[in-house]
Amino acid sequence: MKRISVDMDGVIANVYSQFLKLYTAETGKIITLEDAVGKFEHEVFENAYQYVTSPGFFRHAPVMEGSQQVLEKLNDQYKVFIVSAAMEFPTSFGEKRDWLNEHFPFIGWQQMVFCGSKEIIKADIMIDDHFKNLNYFTGETILFTQPHNQLADEGVHKRVDNWQQIEQLLLP
Give residue-wise pLDDT tens across range 62-79.
Answer: 999 999 999 999 999 999
- 35 classed as catalytic: no
pLDDT tens track for 84-125: 988 888 889 999 999 999 999 999 999 999 999 999 999 999
Catalytic option among 7, 35, 129, 161? 7
Q: Model's pTM, two decimal places?
A: 0.95
Cα separation values, 110 from 5, 8, 103, 113, 169, Å: 13, 15, 16, 8, 25
Whole-angstrom distance, CA of residue 142 vs CA of residue 168:
13
Domains of the chain listed by start with CATH number? 3-14+62-170 (3.40.50.1000), 15-52 (no CATH)
- 9 classed as catalytic: yes
Which residues contact residue 17 at a Cβ distance below 8 angstroms, ignoring those fewer than 6 apart? 61, 62
Per-residue pLDDT, 126: 98
Per-residue pLDDT, 111: 98
Catalytic option among 9, 76, 129, 153? 9
